[in-house]
Amino acid sequence: MLPTHILYATCAPGLPPLLEQELRDVGASQVSAAGAGVRFEGTLETAYSACLWSRLANRILLPLHSGPAKSPEELYELVQQLDWSKHMALEGTLAVDFFTSHSEITHSQYGALKVKDAIVDQFREKTGSRPNVDRDSPSIRINVYLYRNKARIALDLSGSSLHRRGYRHQQGMAPLKENLAAALLIHSQWPEQAAAGECFVDPMCGTGTLLIEAAMIASNKAPGIDRDYFGFLGWAGHDSALWQKLLNDAKAKQITPRSVIVGSDIDKKMVSATKLNLTAAGLEDAVSVETLSVMKGKSSALSQCANGLLLSNPPYGERLAGDAEFYTELGRALSEHYSGWRCGLFTSDSAPSRHLALPLKPELAAANGGIDCHLLAGRVPARHANAATSDATATITPAIDTTAFANRLRKNLKASKSWRKREEIRAWRTYDADLPEFAVAIDVYDCEQRHVVVQEYQAPPTVNVHIAQERLDAVCAAVPALLEVSPERVHLKTRRRQAGKEQYQRMSEQDTVEFLNEKGVVYELNLSAYLDTGLFLDHRKVRRYVQDNIAGKRFLNLFSYTGAVTAAAIVGGASHTHSVDMSNKYSQWAARNIKRNAGDADLHVVSRSDVTKWLNENKQEKYDLILLDPPTFSNSNSTEEDWNLQRDHTASIDACMQLLAPGGELLFSNNFRQFKIDNTWLDNSGLTAKDRSKWSIDQDFFRSPRIHQCWSITKH
């Protein structure tokens, strides 16, 4: 009976839980994660089996000795306590890998040199000769780990990292290591799926590592069976008969895969490299590969696959071109071509993967090439209710039925007709995601010619992106006839969660500038370039309140945006206005709105300034009506401190009240849905705040009563 050894398997961070189960499968006992790997017990057969069958481990180590090594001399003596003639012959070769942490010996090369000296000196003293060093393929490779001045000396039975299967003849810019690819497959339950004959695809296969590892699993091919070198082959304790038996058993266990395994890549060179690597692995008949962009479709080799596992390693961004637009298009392509498939995308932590708009969650964290990455896993939303089990019909998408949408839009138009005529409404929201499957907002602008803005609400990740796009296309196709507008005057925008500078970027290089005359006020609009047009339709009642109550009075507009409310104040007869905003673009826009409404620049001033700073510096002039309509957050590079509405609103209200003339009024508005006004502070400050939110929401926004909040604040 073979003796039992304590053994250690190293692996990449994040993989020990998977490696633990794999080692149990090859007969290991007492398995437990330890440090950067897994400790286990087993016979020499167990150790050999781990070297042959582990898809996840880097190295299999056989600890030989341990003890204190606070100095080079102690390390030398510790190594010489072993009889090295039991492990290698004089004519053999050796190599030493030395790792040190939190110890007196800090230089790994120096530590390796002391270990080598101790071994060769022992042979020289006994025989008068010494063995040689071979860094590439030594008879034995010694692994020494020094931690807190205690050294563990082990034989590296693998000899070189086990991720080197022997098939990679070609590689790309940022290849996956073979054992990391295997970990992604195992985590994604590919072994179970392969046994059941499920399909597998990598549509961005690069040089084919995921494909080859998937095929090796599906064919039950031992990952180490084609390696020509292991660290135990030149070891004096090697049992060649046992090893040959394990090799024969492994060859006998190999099967023909039941699964359809397909790969593709847009780069012909990568496809050629994949084919060379498949041939080197002896798996060229198990995998179909072709040149094809994932954005264009899926391989005809998958025609019989209702669904399966899609696993891929898309561009990261750090090394390859993986920008937000790429991920947006990738999400759409996967939704269109892989509806209902299980999906795993291994990408960097910093990649703009949220633009996929797919319900994929980060699961397995690991590093690849020094880049922190994670596996995004889930299922591509089905295009049909039964697509999770069969999407054989998903390639034939029926035309989107817009009957319900058209009926609702006609109903809304009819219901608002008298209101629009009575209130002289020239710009209004006529549809706001009334039907969940048509998640858009539609605004009509009756300028000299009618224009329509269609804003797409970003679909939740559980909705198939391709279906969402088809519905949006159907809406845009239906709108011109329904709203009696030329197709070229329908402007499409996507409203989604935005981060950082994204919210200020242009959406189009085209400027569609129009002028809207509503109740005597002329507003300049830009209907195509930005997400917002320059006129907040939900603030109509606020604008008209200012217009109707400002005659002969002084008006201050803070966070004034395009100065639309200021323009209304000028037409309403304001004696003086002041508009303050940080943005140069909006300040210029406000100046144009003021000029177009016959505002004298000397009486109607625009200041480009941080509002908080401006309030602190301007204490003298008084105003009869102030509008404070701040953003939720602001982190402009032009200011030292960030603006936070919830935190900073009381200070801004207080500064405004200091500028308010006796009997004056502050209108305070914002669109932060979670905002809570500090009523205790208001009471303690001698202020009365009347909630005017319900009043300020006009008829066309009744479906969205939380679109903004509004208060009228006065002094007691």
Q: How far apart are CA 393 and CA 379, in angstroms?
A: 18
Least confident of 40-49, 316-325, 468-477, 693-702: 316-325
Please choose, from the candidates 288, 355, 289, the residue with its C-alpha nearest in 3D space to the C-alpha of residue 322.
Answer: 355
Least confident of 141-145, 328-332, 389-393, 435-439: 389-393
Asked whether the CA dihedral 5, 6, 8, 14 is positive or negative, the reply is positive
Residue 487 neighbours by CB distance under 10 Å: 11
pLDDT confidence band for 636 (50 / 70 / 90): low
DSSP 355: G
Per the model's pLDDT, the better-predicted residue between 323 and 344 turns out to be 344
Q: How far apart are CA 88 and CA 236, in angstroms?
A: 5
Please choose, from the candidates 672, 656, 667, 662, the residue with its C-alpha nearest in 3D space to the C-alpha of residue 690.
Answer: 667
Contact 168, 279 (CB under 8 A): no
pLDDT value, residue 400: 83
Q: May I ask the CATH class of domain 398-528?
A: alpha beta
- Provide the angle, in degrees to the nearest 10, between the axes of the packed helices 564-571 and 584-596: 20
* Mean pLDDT within 523-549: 94
Which CATH fold would you assign to the domain 178-220+255-379?
Rossmann fold (3.40.50)
Would 178-220+255-379 and 536-716 be classified into the same CATH topology? yes
Angstrom CA distances, 564 to 526, 547, 559, stand at: 13, 11, 11
Instruction: Give the tens place of pLDDT for each residue, 216-266.
Output: 999 999 999 999 999 999 999 999 999 999 999 999 999 999 999 999 999
Angstrom CA distances, 185 to 207, 306, 343, 359, stand at: 16, 20, 11, 19
* Mean pLDDT within 431-450: 94
- In this structure, the strands spanning 93-101 and 132-133 are parallel
Residue 486 neighbours by CB distance under 10 Å: 11
Q: How far apart are CA 174 and CA 633, in angstroms?
A: 38
Who contacts 154 (Cβ-Cβ below 8 Å, separation ≥6)? 8, 61, 62, 63, 64, 142, 143, 144, 145
Contact 714, 687 (CB under 8 A): yes
| Mean predicted lDDT score pLDDT of the chain | 91
Q: In terms of C-beta density within 10 A (0-12 exposed, 13-18 middle, 19 or more buried), how is residue 343 classed?
A: buried
pTM of the model: 0.68
Who contacts 248 (Cβ-Cβ below 8 Å, separation ≥6)? none
Q: May I ask the CATH class of domain 536-716?
A: alpha beta
pLDDT value, residue 172: 56
Taking the domains of the chain in order of start, what are their residue ranges? 5-156, 178-220+255-379, 398-528, 536-716
Contact 643, 633 (CB under 8 A): yes
Confidence check: pLDDT of 640 > 60: no
Contact 23, 9 (CB under 8 A): yes
Instruction: Give the tens place of pLDDT for each residue, 584-624.
Output: 999 999 999 999 999 899 999 999 999 999 999 988 899 99
Confidence check: pLDDT of 506 > 80: no
pLDDT value, residue 505: 47
**Percentage of residues in the chain having pLDDT higher than 90:** 79
DSSP 168: -
Q: Which CATH number fits domain 5-156: 3.40.50.2030, 3.30.2130.30, 3.30.70.141, 2.60.40.420?
A: 3.30.2130.30
Contact 443, 430 (CB under 8 A): yes
Confidence check: pLDDT of 389 > 50: no
Q: How far apart are CA 467 and CA 460, in angstroms?
A: 12
Instruction: Give the tens place of pLDDT for each residue, 650-676.
Output: 999 999 999 999 999 999 999 999 999
Confidence check: pLDDT of 384 > 80: no
pLDDT confidence band for 299 (50 / 70 / 90): very high
Confidence check: pLDDT of 639 > 70: no
- In this structure, the strands spanning 554-558 and 521-526 are unpaired
Contact 4, 42 (CB under 8 A): yes
Angstrom CA distances, 276 to 229, 270, 272, 345, stand at: 21, 10, 6, 24
Instruction: Give the tens place of pLDDT for each residue, 363-383.
Output: 999 988 788 999 999 999 887
